[in-house]
Amino acid sequence: MRAMILLGAPGAGKGTIAEGVKAQTPYQHFSTGDMLREAIRNGTELGKRADEYIRRGDLVPDDLILGMVFERLDREKSEQAVMFDGFPRTIEQARLLDDGLSKRGGVVHVVFLLEVTRELVIQRLTGRRICRACGANYHVVNIPPKREGICDLCGGELYQRADDTEETIVNRLNVFNRQTAPLVAYYEKHGKLVRVDSSKPRDRTVAEVVGKLG
């Protein structure tokens, strides 16, 4: 199994770029944020435990995240190419991912660091809208849907995430700088990091990532 990682601050465009890459490559998309929101919607034990962390913009504990990711990988018998979006988010998660993949004959082969300024991140997150039915990403100004409040792809209702408020966004950015940013050096040391300017329009960033996947 070949694993590719999209790394970047909240609002760097991980989910949006993942959708574009998924449409053009065989990579299967795994978003830990989407999995957690699904668990909360379904009222599972995991969802109940994760809910308060997500509301505050804090990270959900590593053991819950790793259990969830490998349970899903094993259940879906993912054998080919997987793309992680929003995972790993701590050095411990990165180590456990390396271990878990190597037990399954897999490896992280490339990590794309999506780089944007703090101003752009805040502008993107406060305007972000998501389809309740299919999870597609929109932005009220940058990527507006054809009909306001309605998903272009499936006709589902668009909503604003509960953690996309200005107060929670500030905490999420601090959490990123403290707990996730050290992954840049970790993957750089392993020779896997590729930096991508993610302030460009979506299609150009997707094209750059797909091109560099080879």
Q: Quote the distance between the C-alpha of residue 90 and its chain's center.
A: 13
CA–CA gap between residue 34 and residue 156 (Å, rounded):
16
Q: Name which position in 17, 21, 39, 65 contacts ligand AMP (CB under 6 A).
A: 65
Asked whether position 13 contacts ligand AMP by CB under 6 A, the answer is no
Burial class of residue 73 (count of CB atoms within 10 Å of its CB; 0-12, 13-18, 19+): buried
How do strand 137-139 and strand 128-131 relate by DSSP bridges? Answer: antiparallel
CA–CA gap between residue 93 and residue 95 (Å, rounded):
5
Q: In 3-state terms, the chain is what percent helix, strand and coil (to 5)?
A: 50, 20, 30
Number of residues that bind ligand AMP (CB under 6 A): 18
Give least dist CB 37 to ligand AMP, A: 7
Query: Which C-beta is closer to ligand AMP: that of 93 or that of 205?
Result: 93
Task: Report phi then psi at 89, rounded to 5.
Answer: -125, 0
Query: Which C-beta is closer to ligand AMP: that of 126 or that of 211?
Result: 126
Asked whether position 106 contacts ligand AMP by CB under 6 A, the answer is no
Asked whether position 198 contacts ligand AMP by CB under 6 A, the answer is no
Query: Which C-beta is closer to ligand AMP: that of 67 or that of 147?
Result: 67
Q: Name which position in 8, 13, 86, 135 contacts ligand AMP (CB under 6 A).
A: 86
Asked whether position 187 contacts ligand AMP by CB under 6 A, the answer is no
Q: Name which position in 124, 128, 129, 172 contacts ligand AMP (CB under 6 A).
A: 172
Asked whether position 87 contacts ligand AMP by CB under 6 A, the answer is yes
**Closest by Cα among 96, 121, 146 to 198:** 121
Asked whether position 3 contacts ligand AMP by CB under 6 A, the answer is no
Catalytic residue annotation:
14, 89, 128, 161, 172
